[in-house]
Amino acid sequence: MSEILMHPGIILILVGLLAMLAPKSIRKLLLAVGPLAALYFAFNLQLGTDVSIDFVRGYKLGVIHVDKLSWIFTFIFSVLALISGIYACHNENRMEALCAMSYAGCAIGVTLAKDWLTLIFFWEAMAVTSVFLVWCRNSKVSRRAGFRYLLVHMLGGNLLLAGIFLHLGHGGDSNIANLVNGPHNYAYWLMLIGICVNVAMPPVNAWLVDAYSNSTITGGVFMSCLTTKVAVYALLRVFAGSELIMWGGVLMALYGACYAIMENDMRRLLAHHIISQTGFMVAGAGIGTGLAMNGATAHAFCDILFKSLLFMCAGAIMYATGVGHINKLGNMAKKLPFVCICFFAAAFSISGIPLFNGFISKAITVNAAYAAGQGTVYTLLELASIGTFLSIPLKMGYFIFLRKDDKGVEIKTQVPFNMKVAMGMGAFLCFLYGVCPGLLYQYLPFEAPAYHPFLPEHILQYVQMLGMAMVPFMMYLSKMEPHTAISLDTDWFYRKPFVVVVKETSMIFCALCSALGNAWQVVYEKFMELTANPMEFLDARPFRQRKRYNPENYRTSIADPMMITLTVLGCVIGYLVTAI
Amino acid sequence: MTKKTVYMIVAVVLVLSAVAELCGIHMHGAHWWPLPFGYNIFFGFVGCWALIIVSKMIMAPLLQRDEDYYESAGDDDE
């Protein structure tokens, strides 16, 4: 039992519970320092550790199973919990504190799970805890977005659950293992679709942009890094080497990049880039070579750092100005210089610019695709890299921070110190891993040839490609400025036509019900009318008796029974006299 | 920073990188198309241009709607 309390995820859930109950001053301390305990235990998890607890009928739940892959994901989720906890510690919402920490704890629960049932328990718990980070924003729009998020995740979770039950029912191993080389039966496809929902692969991607952009400022930082990265972990664990996954990842990388170029809302744009960057990881998992899967792991690690930092910067701007639209912002470099520095550290990281952490992670997957002979994948991922550079450092960087026109935006509230500390930590880590890639590479889980990011040809490749990408941006500068609009995504199907179909179907069924009710009433009344007087059928004069039953009409004269009685009596007496 | 300055900086960086490429710094691999001289410069320009054209001039007119397309602004009670 004591070993369970060393589970970093359980520690985070306990921190969340205590933070919810504690008074404000202690809650701040708990949110800022509590995840440090989880980080300590995560870092000190020993490879090969196996802890199980009894469940039912001798079934054991493997709650802690540490190998290289689960360790690195547990470690980075703990780092995220620490940074995001500091970023969020000024929050007064108790429910948000509980749900944010529990959400991070459940994400760690998935990564440390040994068996399918433990995985699905924490998987579903992630959806339940994270939806409150949307609902805590407390607006009608966020409540609706939260319900949509929950519906999609319950669908995905239940597909995964059904797949797991089928897998176990067919005698499959209860421990989580790669399924690609096994039978591609119903269980396989259900589990794959269930995980693809969480990884936000088109066409089941729209929940991400919808929910993350409607979450609380601090909740968005947690959400930006957990659900999709946990799904990437699951893909690496279960579906590594699937060609379908590889092409799905390429689609994600391009899909997110194209949508981000159109987007105006800062957090919607960043959410599209979650899809795009997750696409690199999914493609890496799909390629399935050791180098590609190390690339996917490294990119998930680095993405958590720079994506959380980007969400923190966007949140800080929203917190300070109350504005979230790019076309209503400008000259923020002068008004929020610290946020500007942190933003560009994250923007250079996500674009894969040398000396920032994206360069040492993204390039592994891209070059692994090339080394694996997947030239088309390589080219398309490079194209997605250009899209990232175009929409984050160039578009967001220029229109939000660098253009002279400030659009009349005022700083209404100063960014709290704890937010600045968290952003500073994120920026420092982005730079640290960018210049010292060995700090990350030593923990990469798969056997693969060593990757050297700072080879001259790698640096030259990115300098030329991204440098030249600035030219079309400057050429089309006026067109690149976003305008107030929303881009339709696959959620259109369940927010417009599906709603109409449901409404119309309901109306048809209501009308049918009403018509059937009326018809039944008519039938009932007729039946009652006919059966109210059975004599109409029995009587010889049915057509003359079409009126409601009246017994007086059918009552026979007293003479008839008397006559019958006397006749029978006469016969009996006559018989008796004759016989005697 | 004016457009002209940006173009100048990009030009200097690209010329220097092209010189480095001529000096023998280039990729090695199984596929031929990333290997020719100037491929990355060409791909950076064409790729970025294509993304802008596809996103802003094809996808945006087809897919973009007013912000209150799904829910009107009055629906938000914040």
* Residue B19 forms part of a structural domain: yes
- The whole-number pLDDT of residue B74 equals 53
What is the average pLDDT value for chain A, to the nearest integer? 92
- Which residues pair with residue A65 across a beta bridge? A50
CB atoms < 10 A from the CB of A492, how many? 16
- Which has more confidence, B53 or A407? B53
Contact A375 B60 (CB under 8 A): no
Contact A469 B48 (CB under 8 A): yes
pLDDT per residue over A232-283, tens digit each? 999 999 999 999 999 999 999 999 999 999 999 999 999 999 999 999 999 9
CA dihedral A188, A194, A200, A204 (to 10 degrees): 100
CA distances (Å), origin A50, targets A53, A65, A112, A380: 10, 5, 9, 41
* Residue B71 forms part of a structural domain: no
* Residue B35 forms part of a structural domain: yes
* Residue B72 forms part of a structural domain: no
Contact B33 A379 (CB under 8 A): yes
- Which residues pair with residue A60 across a beta bridge? A54
- Which residues pair with residue A115 across a beta bridge? A175
* Residue B56 forms part of a structural domain: yes
Q: Is the model's pLDDT at A397 over the cut of 50?
A: yes
- The whole-number pLDDT of residue B78 equals 45
- Taking the Cβ of residue A472 and every Cβ of chain B, the question of whether any pair is shorter than 8 Å is answered with yes
- The whole-number pLDDT of residue A12 equals 95
* Residue B77 forms part of a structural domain: no
Enumerate the residues of chain B whose CB falls inside 8 A of the CB of residue A474: 3, 6-7
Q: Which residue of A has its CA nearest to B9?
A: A467
Q: Is the model's pLDDT at A536 over the cut of 70?
A: no
Q: Is the model's pLDDT at A312 over the cut of 80?
A: yes
pLDDT per residue over A520-532, tens digit each? 999 998 888 777 7
User: Considering CB atoms only, which of A138, A139, A466 is closest to B44?
Assistant: A466
**Cis omega before residue A203 (within 30°)?**
yes
- The whole-number pLDDT of residue A70 equals 96
CA dihedral A346, A347, A352, A357 (to 10 degrees): -10
Q: Is the model's pLDDT at A13 over the cut of 80?
A: yes
Contact A467 B54 (CB under 8 A): no
Contact A390 B52 (CB under 8 A): yes
- Mutation target to probe the B interface, by most B beta carbons within 10 A, among A465, A475, A480, A491 is A465
Encoded tokens for A443: 């923990």
Helix axes A290-321 and A337-351, enclosed angle (nearest 10): 160
* Residue B55 forms part of a structural domain: yes
Enumerate the residues of chain B whose CB falls inside 8 A of the CB of residue A461: 27, 40
Report the range of poorest mean pLDDT among A57-66, A230-239, B17-26.
B17-26
pLDDT per residue over B21-30, tens digit each? 888 777 666 6
Q: Is the model's pLDDT at A196 over the cut of 90?
A: yes
∠A437-A442-A446 over CA atoms, to 5°? 115
The C-alpha atoms of residue A263 and residue A406 are separated, in whole angstroms, by 19
The C-alpha atoms of residue A399 and residue A225 are separated, in whole angstroms, by 25
CA distances (Å), origin A310, targets A113, A396, B46: 30, 11, 27
Report the range of poorest mean pLDDT among A70-79, A173-182, A307-316.
A173-182
Q: Is the separation of the CB atoms in B63 and A483 below 8 Å?
A: no
> How many CA atoms within 13 Å lie on the side-chain side of A269?
31
Chain CA centroid to CA B71, Å: 33
∠A243-A466-A339 over CA atoms, to 5°? 100
What one-character DSSP code corresponds to residue B62?
H
Q: Is the model's pLDDT at A394 over the cut of 60?
A: yes
- Taking the Cβ of residue B49 and every Cβ of chain A, the question of whether any pair is shorter than 8 Å is answered with yes
∠A217-A280-B44 over CA atoms, to 5°? 100
Strand, coil or helix: what is A389? helix
CB atoms < 10 A from the CB of A459, how many? 19
What are the residue ranges of helices labelled H in B1-78? 3-22, 39-52, 60-63
Contact B49 A472 (CB under 8 A): yes
- The whole-number pLDDT of residue B24 equals 74
- Taking the Cβ of residue A478 and every Cβ of chain B, the question of whether any pair is shorter than 8 Å is answered with no
- The whole-number pLDDT of residue A569 equals 95
What one-character DSSP code corresponds to residue A555?
P
- The whole-number pLDDT of residue A557 equals 79
- The whole-number pLDDT of residue A519 equals 94
Report the range of poorest mean pLDDT among A99-103, A341-345, A480-484.
A480-484
Percent of chain A exceeding pLDDT 90 equals: 77
Domain of B18 in residue numbering reads as: 3-64
Q: What is the distance in angstroms between the Cα of A481 and the nearest Cα belonging to chain B?
A: 10
- Which residues pair with residue A486 across a beta bridge? B65
Q: What is the ipTM of this complex?
A: 0.89
Residue A317 confidence class, pLDDT cut points 50, 70, 90: very high
Q: Report the domain count for chain B.
A: 1
The C-alpha atoms of residue A543 and residue A552 are separated, in whole angstroms, by 18
Q: What is the distance in angstroms between the Cα of B26 and the nearest Cα belonging to chain A?
A: 5
Contact A382 B59 (CB under 8 A): no
- The whole-number pLDDT of residue A560 equals 85
Q: How many CB pairs under 8 A join A and B?
A: 160
CA distances (Å), origin B55, targets A259, A325, A364: 7, 19, 27
The C-alpha atoms of residue A148 and residue A142 are separated, in whole angstroms, by 10
- Taking the Cβ of residue A484 and every Cβ of chain B, the question of whether any pair is shorter than 8 Å is answered with yes
Report the pLDDT averaged over residues A337-347: 96
User: Considering CB atoms only, which of B40, B56, B66 is closest to A261?
Assistant: B56
- The whole-number pLDDT of residue A535 equals 65
What SS3 string covers A175-204?
ECCCCCCCCCCHHHHHHHHHHHHHHCCCCC
∠B11-B16-B19 over CA atoms, to 5°? 125
- Taking the Cβ of residue A371 and every Cβ of chain B, the question of whether any pair is shorter than 8 Å is answered with yes
- Which has more confidence, B73 or A191? A191
Q: Is the separation of the CB atoms in A156 and A197 below 8 Å?
A: yes
* Residue B74 forms part of a structural domain: no
Q: What is the distance in angstroms between the Cα of B64 and the nearest Cα belonging to chain A?
A: 4
Q: What is the distance in angstroms between the Cα of B28 and the nearest Cα belonging to chain A?
A: 9
